[in-house]
Amino acid sequence: MTKPAASAPSLSVAASLSKPQSATLEELEEEEQEDKFDINISITNPEKIGDGMNAYMAYKVSTQTTLPMFRSKAFTVRRRFSDFLGLYEKLSEKHGPNGYIVPPPPEKSILGMTKVKVGKEDPSSAEFVERRRAALERYLQRVVCHPSLLQDPDVREFLERDELPRAVNTQALSGAGFLKMINKATDAVSKMTIKMNESDVWFEEKLQEVESADQQFRKIHGLVDSLVGHRKELSLNTAGFAKSVAMLGSSEDNTALSRALSQLAEVEDKMEQLHQEQASNDSFCFAELLADYIRLLGAVRGSFDQRMKAWQRWQDAQSMLQKKRETEAKLLWANKPDKLQLAKDEITEWEAKVTQYERDFDRVSATVRKEVLRFEVLIYFFFKTLVAFTLLIKYWEAFLPEAKAIA
């Protein structure tokens, strides 16, 4: 059901592709066609387990799939938040260094969770749980959308296995901590001297786009927060207006006009509810989505860093090889045959390493390039806004005949 459309992202991070090697792109597109798979994840039924500070939320994770590698076509397990973090940790350890963009999990939130634990049955904690549920769903959906990650047995285990061993060491993965980690790596990398060649230019440009997108996304996030606030205000004011018009309608002595004004009040009231829905939808979807993508961009930067690390390893191996050759030369000159053999062995060793690391670097580069191309942006909330406006039309059309009835 879910097919990542690698060639159709609407943000410039992937849209403005420079094409230095068209052959590679063709290969990629071919691969895309082969990558048709069908798997759908839904996360439902958040349930509070336990009491007090040891309580946690358990979520139902349901998988529907036609892929043969799974034990059946539909199955369900219960997972808690730390399980998701544990999955991320495993995937990031295994695949990160290879240049894969491992989707980051939702952020930990001590405040949000504490409210839930303490048992505050207020709308804000319900909202928090819902936000988290939706975020976990989006996270898992992204993981299974990734053809390489899907093959990982840890993913299969996460989806299928009834009881998962408790994940430890998830403390390190708070949202802020994750980003700090990425930022440190990026800074370290930029301090390295980098030799520019053709393909490096592509990566350099992509990285710049990613960083600029990150900046803009954060700005938009702030603006959207402002939008949501104003929307809430609008809905309050619309409600106040609706009540006032209803009062006016009841004072009106012309019956038809009185009815029309009451209708107007009703419509304005419905519009207020709609605005409220739009406000909470904006908040649930767009702002959340933005936060998702800010984190995803962090992961993209992470994969660039991995490429740099691979490059650095290769460069270091080359310098080491150089050193060993110099040692050999010195030993030849000094005429120490026993040490010479050792030196020759070491040279062989390092030559192999250089070859290996060069291959690694090429492989990681290719993976990063593929990953960046695959990186896509889905925008959910437009669909919900569409629904909202469709409803809006219905309400106004209901109002119109009443207004015409005033003779």
Partner 1 sequence: YRNLTHWLKTRSVSVDLNNDASLLIDIPDALCERDKVKFTVHTKTTLSAFQKPEFSVPRQHEDFIWLHDTLVETEDYAGLIIPPAPPKPDFESPREKMHKLGEGEATMTKEEYNKMKQELEAEYLAVFKKTVQVHEIFLQRLSSHAILSKDRNFQIFLEYDQDLSVRRKNAKEMFGGFFKNMVKTADEVIISGIKEVDDFFEQEKTFLLDYYSKIKDSTAKAEKMTRSHKNVADDYIHISATLNTLSADDSTFYLRLYKVEGRVASDQELKLTELLRYYMRDIQAAKDLLYRRARALADYEHSNKALDKARLKSKDVPQAEEHQQQCLQKFDKLSESGKRELTSFKGRRVVAFRKNLIEMAELEIKHAKNNVTLLQGCIDLLKSN
32 makes contact with partner 1 (CB under 8 A):
no
Among 70, 4, 10, 68, which Cα is nearest to 35's? 4
Q: Which is nearer to partner 1, 166 or 396 (CB)?
A: 396
**How many residues belong to the site for partner 1 (CB under 8 A)?**
54
Any alpha helices (H) in 105-174, and if so which ranges?
A: 110-118, 123-145, 147-150, 153-160
Q: Which is nearer to partner 1, 20 or 240 (CB)?
A: 240
CA dihedral over 110, 136, 376, 11, signed as positive or negative: negative
Q: Which is nearer to partner 1, 215 or 355 (CB)?
A: 215
Residue numbers 276-335 binding partner 1 by CB under 8 A: none
Contact 2, 65 (CB under 8 A): no
- Choose the stretch contacting partner 1; rule: CB under 8 A; options: 18-26, 97-105, 249-257, 318-326: 249-257
Q: Which is nearer to partner 1, 134 or 271 (CB)?
A: 271
Applying CB under 8 A, among 46, 241, 262, 346 the residue interacting with partner 1 is 241
CA dihedral over 114, 118, 123, 128, signed as positive or negative: positive
Applying CB under 8 A, among 168, 253, 333, 338 the residue interacting with partner 1 is 253
356 makes contact with partner 1 (CB under 8 A):
no
How far apart are alpha carbons 137 and 40 in whole angstroms? 10
Tell me whether strands 39-49 and 74-80 are parallel, antiparallel or unpaired: unpaired
Applying CB under 8 A, among 63, 170, 186, 238 the residue interacting with partner 1 is 238
Q: Which is nearer to partner 1, 117 or 231 (CB)?
A: 231
Q: Which is nearer to partner 1, 103 or 249 (CB)?
A: 249
245 makes contact with partner 1 (CB under 8 A):
yes
Applying CB under 8 A, among 48, 73, 219, 330 the residue interacting with partner 1 is 219
How far apart are alpha carbons 45 and 57 in whole angstroms? 10
Q: How far is the CB of 163 from partner 1 (least distance, A)?
A: 40
205 makes contact with partner 1 (CB under 8 A):
no
Q: What is the DSSP string of 191-230?
A: HS-----HHHHHHHHHHHHHHHHHHHHHHHHHHHHHHHHH
Binding mask 378-397 for partner 1 (x = CB under 8 A): -x--xx-xx--xx-xx--xx
Contact 97, 306 (CB under 8 A): yes
254 makes contact with partner 1 (CB under 8 A):
yes
- Give how far Cα 102 sits from Cα of 25, 54, 233, 303, Å: 22, 30, 39, 8
244 makes contact with partner 1 (CB under 8 A):
yes
48 makes contact with partner 1 (CB under 8 A):
no
Q: Which residues contact 272 (CB under 8 A, 6 or more apart)?
A: 235, 236, 238, 239, 242
Q: Which is nearer to partner 1, 141 or 174 (CB)?
A: 141
> In the complex, which residues of this chain contact partner 1 (CB under 8 A)?
5, 7-8, 10-13, 15, 212-213, 216, 219-220, 223-224, 226-227, 230-231, 233-234, 237-238, 240-241, 244-245, 247-248, 251-254, 256-257, 260-261, 264, 379, 382-383, 385-386, 389-390, 392-393, 396-397, 399-400, 403-404, 406
